[in-house]
Amino acid sequence: MSQDTTLDHRPAIGIDVGGTKIAGALVARDGTILERARVATPAQSTEEIIGAIGEVVRELVAAAGEDGVRGVGLACAAFVDGERGHVWFAPNLAWRDLDLGARVEELVGLPVVVENDANAAAWGEYVHGAGRDVDDMVLLTLGTGVGGGCISRGRLLTGAFGIGGELGHIVLDPTGPRCGCGNHGCLEVLASGTALMRAAADLVTSGSAEAGPLRERCGGDPDALSGRDIDELAAAGDPGAVGLLADLGTHLGHGIASVCAVLDPRLVVIGGGVSRAGELVVGPARKAFEQRQIGRGHRPTPSVVAADLGNDAGVVGAADRAQVVLDERAAR
């Protein structure tokens, strides 16, 4: 088969801007990561964060050599209008009503495509990860919060204003804990890493015999407990840790049932830090979803699987989104 010469085969840069770090990668069109770079996210200064993004981009451009870089895909935890490269609001960064794409383009001299971080991760899994064989999928990322991204008929769903796919804010229990978004009982406050640690702290301080290994691991101080501690104890069969992950997975499964009632995907992919526990979370989520699925027993059931790309989904997806958008612009 002859090579497609209509495509620009230069690599793109994917940047994932988080609350603590800015991770970047030089990514080939086939999803291969050629080079990495990262810096700490500078506190709450908009100008310093943009400057740090520029620093990462320049390092990766230098690594690309004489072939150069086609463009930059920028993923951030924010309400984003990807068409305009505009950030409406970022809860964990000092960004409000910011033309981020234009600012970074001016700084680095390359075309910049801006995307929500969960959307970028969903696109990465769709093109190069767990969803590579389907055209309809949903990604739920379980980290500090719960992010979401939706692919329908091979297109990323972003909504009328560019902020669609906020699946973590589906309300499961209106009487539940308050979410950072202002509502109560969102999927995010029941199935995130933060929710897991809150439940673990409650168990440790409850006096329950089931909490013995967890209490021993943290010396009785729940603030000293980490998600990795829970994963390791659960993998060793500790009932307390296994139960914490199963409860989280059950909440997640209920949320998946609501998502699938609206979007009808073929595949649901679970990513983010909590997904490190694998089937200890995904198994209970799958079971709870199948029990809540509308029309169960009389319709196809979407698969529920763990993500393939791990922490690289954001940078790989951001780089590929840049390639897609730049292809579309070139074809106009």
Confidence band (pLDDT; 50, 70, 90) for 324? very high
| pLDDT tens-digit map of 22-40 | 999 999 999 999 999 999 9
Please give the average per-residue pLDDT across 74-84, as a whole number: 84
pLDDT of 6: 67
Q: Verify that 186 and 279 share a domain, yes or no.
A: yes
Q: Verify that 149 and 38 share a domain, yes or no.
A: no
Q: Please give the angle made by the CA atoms of 202, 207 and 209, to the nearest 5 degrees.
A: 110
- Structural domain that includes position 159: 132-307
pLDDT of 3: 45
Confidence band (pLDDT; 50, 70, 90) for 153? very high
**Model confidence at 43: pLDDT above 80:** no
**Model confidence at 227: pLDDT above 50:** yes
Residues with Cβ within 8 Å of 64's Cβ and at least 6 positions away in sequence, in order, are 10, 11, 26, 34, 35
| pLDDT tens-digit map of 97-131 | 889 999 999 999 999 999 999 999 999 999 999 99
Is residue 3 assigned to a domain? no
Is residue 2 assigned to a domain? no
pLDDT of 8: 87
Give the N- to C-terminal CA distance of the chain in Å, as an integer: 26
Phi, psi (rounded to 5 degrees) for 95: -120, 120
pLDDT of 2: 40
- The first and second tokens of residue 39, run together, are 């810096």
Mean pLDDT value across the chain = 92
Q: Verify that 33 and 162 share a domain, yes or no.
A: no
Q: Verify that 267 and 287 share a domain, yes or no.
A: yes
Torsion of CA 151, 88, 142, 265, to 10 degrees: -20
**Model confidence at 270: pLDDT above 90:** yes
Query: In angstroms, what CA-CA distances link 103 with 98, 106, 110, 112, 175?
Result: 9, 5, 11, 9, 42
Instruction: Tell me the CATH number at 152.
Output: 3.30.420.40
Closest by Cα among 158, 151, 183, 175 to 267? 151
Is residue 4 assigned to a domain? no
Strand partners, 86: 81
Confidence band (pLDDT; 50, 70, 90) for 86? confident
**Model confidence at 232: pLDDT above 90:** yes
Counting the structural domains of the chain, the total is: 2
Is residue 98 assigned to a domain? yes
| pLDDT tens-digit map of 194-209 | 999 999 999 999 989 9
Please give the average per-residue pLDDT across 261-288, as a whole number: 95
| The overall pTM is greater than 0.85 | yes
